[in-house]
Chain A
């Protein structure tokens, strides 16, 4: 028995080392690319930046192309951001933004350092942070508790701890192709958010939120940073493709074309079946009740 246990442990160790090997290569690659290239959650930028603007110290202020421009939060807001952070975020994420909560409180919370300003901005501007219930499996979209400029200030301070990408995006929807966006949406987004963008429940209390009321900037931020369960779409979607998707979401998803009458909430056959049975069959049965004899 004991012999077999050791054999198994040894085998597992060898397997573990062998499978961890390629990870080292990835880690080195990420280390080497300090430019605005999107390879991982940390330092993710964009591979097709045509314009990169740097300040006098050589730090990247903005990068992007004709589709999306990513801007660093202004450094002038760092002081304000730190104060706001200590008031609203530090109790869970820790005073160093490293995910170590203040003494006395418990729980595990993500470190924010190195996530990039777009991540911080997304969670705050979508009203998910400061969290209403820090123990919830997935924070709900909520009324914004901090304003856009306060969110910008906090992301500015967090970014000052360890500068990282992606910066806060500004999509240029005028150049976007809505048809291309529709096709990309069906391929990349519909599997969770549904083809009509209503969102739906995923496993174990997680969910894909509705896209009906999401501002364009947050759509880009979500695609590029991958909040909660959402995959982070980086290398497989170019900025122009993301821009197309955002155009489709903010036009056709948020203002759907319903020439056929009432949209029935975009719930598909669930709502249609209800109407068909309640109004159609039920209504006609009532007409039959009216036309036919009732007493025995």
Chain B
């Protein structure tokens, strides 16, 4: 025996059926006991539906934001000290500018790959907030926020707020003409708060606008505090998702008591890693081929300069639009000014919208009296009121969003700016009022129509020998017939090669109890 143990073959056999890797993993397990947790992790079941990927877009674009953001932080100088530009971009040569702007231009032109990183960062931000919106809409319309997931809905809404805030802060950092205009508006919004407004504005800006403190402070907020908050909340969001397990659409074999889907390893891991690379690829392609925020064309911000047709990034558009169309009502009396023209559209209105989002799960529990735990998702058409409220709110925000480009619309279509302004004032009220009953009616129609949302099959009309016409529906498309084999239960423990044996059975779908 001792002789055979020394052969290469014997040594290999001694390591067990999974070879060197398995041996190494065994060594780790002996010391850390990682197998149990690792197994739970690798066997975690992910219900699969394309709409569940929307949140992943947000997650992965956030990863891209972190990576590109670290690159940018290496070259960006958060300082308002005045320097003279002696870089390669001739239309700025010799101009006096802040170090913040000069370093932003320099990292675009003088740092290898800097412009690509800046553009990827900006595109990833636009995609991040956009993906948050569609993810939130998916969660809302399918009722995924219901008990027990209200807390995760609250965290998600907070993430949305923080993402918008951090987007604005980052947009402000280059200190170019367009971003300076944005900071100016933010300062005015702070001022419009009654009683505390001027103190708050001075506290944040370290004095009157523009001052020299705002860029370094925004830098700390944008690079450190808000991303850490987002990172922590994303962690909590995902931890809660793992703890509470996923929701799933109703379907064959899917109940409130189980989770049907593909395990983390190998199916979901392959899909999600591929998707991470796709998100990275699309962002990189946009960063490489589509120019975003060409700050070198805007020049340094000076409080005396202003450019027309300045819009914020799209996710601030609804605020900008509200500010544009709100009438100029101001209260001046008793030695006080309350700028309702700014206060209402820029603070009260978004406050109402976000608080409605926060309160919605509780409101729905109260009005439906439904206090049960839900793991199966709704078809949006089955919940007509919720869907209609969502559509009306989204159409309201959409109208405000469109209102932030009144000047571009007027210029592009050669309409009077005043006409566009008044049209938006009316539409912002009218469209939600039309959208609610319309979507309610569509939902009700879809409820009463069997097979709504399914592909229609042809009716074959035949004539019998007697001349009678008979219509018979042709069978459903093969793709539309549920082809799932019964999902295989995830084993509770490893019984030798049990799990290996099961790998080739079924279509990879597994089921686990909640």
Contact = CB atoms under 8 A, between A and B. Distances in A.
Interface of A: 178-183, 186-187, 190-196, 198-205, 207-208, 248, 251-252, 256-264, 266-270, 272-277, 279-281, 283-285, 287-296
Nearest to B291: A260
A46 to B, nearest CB: 25
A183 B95 contact: yes
B96 to A, nearest CB: 9
A204 B417 contact: yes
B94 A179 contact: yes
Contact of A194 (B53, B90, B282, B308): B308
B314 A273 contact: yes
B307 interface: yes
Contacts of B6: none
Given A179-B92, A199-B411, A258-B291, 7 more contacts: A194-B309, A195-B298, A201-B407, A201-B417, A205-B416, A279-B286, A285-B134
B293 A272 contact: yes
A264 to B, nearest CB: 6
A185 to B, nearest CB: 8
B271 to A, nearest CB: 5
B399 interface: no
A179 B289 contact: no
B291 A264 contact: yes
A202 B89 contact: no
Interface in B272-288: 274-275, 278-279, 282-283, 286, 288
B311 A270 contact: yes
Given A201-B411, A281-B131, A284-B131, A296 B313 contact: no
Contacts of B127: 276, 280-281, 284
B49 interface: yes
Contact of B286 (A275, A290, A292): A275
B361 to A, nearest CB: 25
B417 A202 contact: yes
Contacts of B470: none
Nearest to B481: A295
Contact of B119 (A194, A196, A260): A260
B126 interface: yes
B50 A272 contact: no
Nearest to A278: B130
Given A260-B291, A272-B292, A276-B126, A179 B90 contact: yes
A179 B307 contact: no
A191 B91 contact: no
Given A248-B91, A264-B291, A296 B297 contact: no
Contact of B95 (A179, A191, A283): A179
Contacts of B304: 187
15 contacts: A179-B92, A187-B302, A194-B308, A248-B91, A256-B294, A273-B311, A276-B130, A277-B126, A284-B127, A285-B54, A288-B57, A292-B49, A293-B48, A293-B50, A296-B250
A235 B3 CA distance: 105
A178 B90 contact: yes
B327 to A, nearest CB: 15
A296 B378 CA distance: 12
B444 to A, nearest CB: 21
B290 interface: yes
B269 to A, nearest CB: 13
Nearest to B294: A260
Nearest to B275: A291
B408 A284 contact: no
A10 B271 CA distance: 85
A264 B48 contact: no
B408 A288 contact: no
A252 B283 CA distance: 28
Contact of A198 (B134, B279, B294, B309): B309
Contact of A270 (B278, B306, B408): B408
A203 B302 CA distance: 25
A283 to B, nearest CB: 6
B185 interface: no
B193 to A, nearest CB: 26
Contacts of B150: none
B177 A281 contact: no
B379 to A, nearest CB: 9
A281 B134 contact: yes
B126 A273 contact: yes
Nearest to B96: A183
Contacts of A182: 91-92, 95, 299
Contact of A268 (B91, B306, B310): B310
B478 to A, nearest CB: 11
A260 B52 CA distance: 33
Contacts of B459: none
Contacts of B282: 279-280, 283-284, 287
